[in-house]
């Protein structure tokens, strides 16, 4: 007979435990999937919004800082040079100019000095300077607050006279004086609108090194301190580069290899950039510095992705945990349903296994009682049948009682020296009638001189008997059973082999569970209670041994009991309580 191999779909359809587990999984999985879908959509929207915010912050900050630098640089032109009219320089009115220059140095500390020159009045043709040293002098001592500076005058005045040819009111250039580079800007005043002869000058000089190393960095640090940095993201940083690429300022977070988000540029001029076309010679020659903003070595998409990655990872972990929880709960529910079904089948099987022997016993007992047996041989046969069926009932009831005690943890094992060869022989003799009735051929192979083991003789014989009964149930038409007892290493092995339907690898791990029975097709429906192998496995664990099965579908099965061989001083009677 071949074993039944159910179609997976039909097994799913008819298995209530699987259906319950699948239904529970679907009921939980659908809302969970919807929840996580919208959560992932929400995180995606957060990433998009965050990217927009970061780009806008970078753009606004770059624009604001560039405008701040340009306003900072042009302030002395507006607040000083343009405020001094030509009438106050021809001749020079020191008392009127004094507070303007003083305020100018305070508002624009990057200016190294202001200058005045005129060809009229008592200070004619003198290059007059007003710097931070003279500004520290008493406010009413004009002669100490203004001083003649022949060094700057000798350098700048000839250059200004050359630039008069360009007829521009604003001139700006660089000049090296005393080994230092200066940015010079002057407001030229002319004799007439023809701008042919210069009559006075109001000028300023800026130390290029101080502007680069002190004043521009200080301004940017002050402005950056007021920038509201993004929460949960890298801080916005800024860097300023000279025309030659040299960095004159960089925030701690923005380095040379970092990714710029926005770039702006500004000219080193000290007036409105709209006036460039009216200035000389800066409409052709001027320094252009660059300003960059960024968030470090990562691009904005990488930053926002990194910010949502922990939430994404948490959601994935949560989804896995919930999925695992659903799987475990569904599996537990399915197992409970299966156990309930197995218990129900167990009751049905016990009823069947009780009714069949009882019916036979009753039938043959009534036949004998009514004297309907014609020959002594036939009567003897009836007695054997009644005796065999009674033994079946006894074994069934013992299995149920033993299983009940095992489940309650009350099954004790009295361990005494035992001869397994003798136990096998007793069981075979006891079951001889059943073998004859079932027309089974039993081949026995018992090794001579087997060592004694510590065992509960009654439990051991019951385990062997259960294996033989199991072999009879599942042998099908090939009614051949082999029983062997031998030594292997430090164990004595008792094996029972049949040539029946066999057990698939998938089922071999389940057959020792309570109430479980191999799916098969032997024409008579399910047989047995599903307790025999569970009792065998429990008995072997109680003896410190184990049971193994080797089987192939349609080739038969071999169950082997492994009893440990004790040491010589271990043969004292011992009572071992069963453990669940």
Q: Sorting pLDDT into bands at 50, 70 and 90, what band is 184? A: very high
Stated pTM of the model: 0.56
Q: Sorting pLDDT into bands at 50, 70 and 90, what band is 125? A: very high
Does 179 sit behind a cis peptide bond, omega within 30 degrees of 0 on the bond before it? Answer: no
Residues 330/24, Cβ–Cβ less than 8 Å? yes
Ramachandran angles phi, psi of 183, nearest 5°: -90, 125
- Nearest-angstrom CA–CA distance, 211 and 190: 31
570: left (phi over 0), alpha (psi -120 to 50) or beta: alpha
Average pLDDT over residues 163-178: 90
Average pLDDT over residues 493-500: 93
Q: pLDDT value at position 157?
A: 94
Helix (H) / strand (E) containing 497: strand 491-498
DSSP 271: S
Q: pLDDT value at position 402?
A: 67
Q: Sorting pLDDT into bands at 50, 70 and 90, what band is 572? A: low
- Nearest-angstrom CA–CA distance, 334 and 327: 10
- Nearest-angstrom CA–CA distance, 462 and 8: 36
Angle at 519 between CA 518 and CA 523, to 5 degrees: 115
The DSSP result for 103-138, as a single string, is: HHHHH-TTEEEEEEEESSSTTTT--EEEEHHHHTS-
The CATH number, out of the four listed (3.30.1780.10, 3.30.565.10, 3.10.20.30, 2.60.40.1180), of the domain defined by the range 411-577: 3.30.565.10
- Inter-CA distances, 178 with 78, 154, 159, 209, Å: 28, 12, 16, 13
Residues 515/530, Cβ–Cβ less than 8 Å? yes
Q: Sorting pLDDT into bands at 50, 70 and 90, what band is 93? A: very high
Q: pLDDT value at position 410?
A: 57
Average pLDDT over residues 189-201: 91
Does 202 have pLDDT greater than 90?
yes
- Nearest-angstrom CA–CA distance, 240 and 246: 8
Question: For the domain bounded by 82-207, which CATH number is listed?
Answer: 3.30.450.20
| Tokens found for residue 165 | 């040819």
E runs forming strands in 159-259: 170-177, 180-190, 198-207, 237-241, 247-250
279-280 and 170-177 strand pairing: parallel
Higher pLDDT, 411 or 264: 264
3-state helix, strand, coil in the chain (%, to 5): 50, 20, 30
Higher pLDDT, 518 or 34: 34
Q: In what order do the strands lie in the sheet with 546-552?
A: 441-446, 480-488, 491-498, 556-564, 546-552
Average pLDDT over residues 261-272: 88
Residue with token string 């569904």: 330
Write out 371-383 in H/E/C secondary structure: CCCCCHHHHHHHH
Residue with token string 């659908």: 30
Q: Sorting pLDDT into bands at 50, 70 and 90, what band is 384? A: confident
Higher pLDDT, 352 or 478: 478
- Total residues found in the chain within this entry: 580
Does 91 sit behind a cis peptide bond, omega within 30 degrees of 0 on the bond before it? Answer: yes
Does 101 have pLDDT greater than 90?
yes
Q: pLDDT value at position 573?
A: 54
Q: pLDDT value at position 147?
A: 93
Structural domain boundaries in the chain: 82-207, 214-301, 411-577
- Nearest-angstrom CA–CA distance, 96 and 75: 20
Higher pLDDT, 353 or 311: 311
- Inter-CA distances, 327 with 11, 29, 253, Å: 19, 10, 47
- Nearest-angstrom CA–CA distance, 403 and 409: 10
412-418 and 574-577 strand pairing: antiparallel
Q: pLDDT value at position 580?
A: 44
Higher pLDDT, 374 or 539: 539
Q: pLDDT value at position 313?
A: 83
Q: pLDDT value at position 575?
A: 56
530: left (phi over 0), alpha (psi -120 to 50) or beta: left
């Amino acid at each position: 007979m071949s074993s039944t191999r159910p179609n997976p779909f039909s097994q799913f359809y008819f298995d209530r435990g699987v259906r319950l587990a699948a239904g529970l999984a679907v009921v939980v999985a659908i809302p969970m999937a919807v929840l996580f879908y919208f959560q992932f959509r929400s995180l995606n929207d957060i990433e998009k919004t965050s990217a927009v915010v970061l780009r806008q912050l970078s753009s606004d900050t770059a624009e604001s800082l560039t405008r701040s630098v340009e306003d900072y640089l042009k302030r002395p032109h507006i607040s000083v040079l343009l405020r001094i009219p030509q009438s106050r320089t021809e001749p020079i009115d020191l008392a009127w100019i004094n507070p303007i220059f003083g305020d100018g140095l305070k508002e624009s500390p990057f200016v190294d000095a202001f200058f005045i020159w005129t060809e009229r009045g008592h200070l004619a043709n003198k290059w007059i300077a007003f710097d931070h040293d003279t500004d520290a002098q008493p406010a009413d001592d004009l002669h100490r607050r203004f001083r003649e500076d022949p060094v700057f005058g000798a350098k700048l005045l000839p250059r200004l006279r050359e630039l008069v040819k360009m007829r521009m009111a604003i001139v700006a250039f660089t000049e090296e004086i005393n080994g230092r580079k200066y940015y010079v800007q002057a407001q030229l005043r002319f004799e007439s609108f023809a701008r042919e002869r210069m009559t006075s000058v109001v000028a300023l000089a800026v130390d290029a090194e101080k502007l680069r190393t002190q004043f521009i960095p200080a301004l940017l640090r002050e402005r950056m301190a007021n920038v509201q940095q993004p929460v949960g993201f890298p801080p916005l940083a800024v860097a300023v580069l000279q025309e030659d690429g040299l960095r004159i300022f960089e925030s701690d977070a923005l380095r040379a290899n970092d990714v710029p988000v926005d770039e702006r540029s500004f000219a080193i001029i000290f007036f409105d950039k709209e006036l460039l076309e009216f200035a000389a010679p800066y409409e052709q020659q001027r320094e252009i510095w660059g300003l960059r903003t960024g968030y470090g070595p990562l691009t904005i998409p990488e930053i926002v992705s990194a910010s949502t990655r922990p939430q994404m990872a948490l959601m994935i972990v949560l989804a896995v945990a919930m999925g695992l929880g659903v799987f475990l709960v569904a599996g537990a529910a399915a197992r409970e349903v299966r156990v309930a079904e197995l218990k129900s089948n167990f009751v049905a099987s016990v009823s069947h296994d009780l009714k069949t022997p009882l019916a036979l016993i009753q039938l043959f007992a009534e036949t004998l009682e009514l004297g309907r047996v014609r020959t002594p041989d036939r009567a003897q046969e009836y007695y054997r049948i009644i005796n065999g069926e009674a033994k079946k009932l006894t074994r069934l009831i013992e299995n149920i009682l033993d299983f009940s005690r095992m489940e309650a943890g009350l099954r004790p094992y009295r361990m005494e020296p035992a001869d397994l060869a003798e136990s096998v022989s007793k069981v075979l003799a006891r079951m001889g009638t059943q073998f004859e009735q079932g027309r089974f051929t039993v081949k026995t192979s018992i090794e001579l001189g087997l060592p004694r083991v510590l065992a509960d003789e009654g439990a051991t014989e019951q385990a062997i008997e259960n294996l033989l009964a199991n072999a009879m149930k599942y042998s099908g038409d090939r009614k051949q059973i082999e029983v062997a007892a031998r030594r292997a290493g430090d164990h004595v092995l008792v094996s029972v082999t049949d040539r029946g339907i066999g057990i698939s690898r998938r089922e071999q791990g389940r057959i020792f569970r309570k109430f479980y029975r191999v799916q098969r097709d032997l024409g008579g429906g399910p047989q047995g209670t599903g307790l025999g192998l569970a009792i065998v496995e429990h008995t072997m664990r109680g003896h410190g041994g184990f049971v193994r099965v080797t089987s192939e579908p349609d080739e038969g099965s071999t169950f082997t009991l492994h009893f440990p061989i004790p040491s010589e001083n271990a043969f004292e009677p011992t009572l071992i309580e069963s453990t669940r």
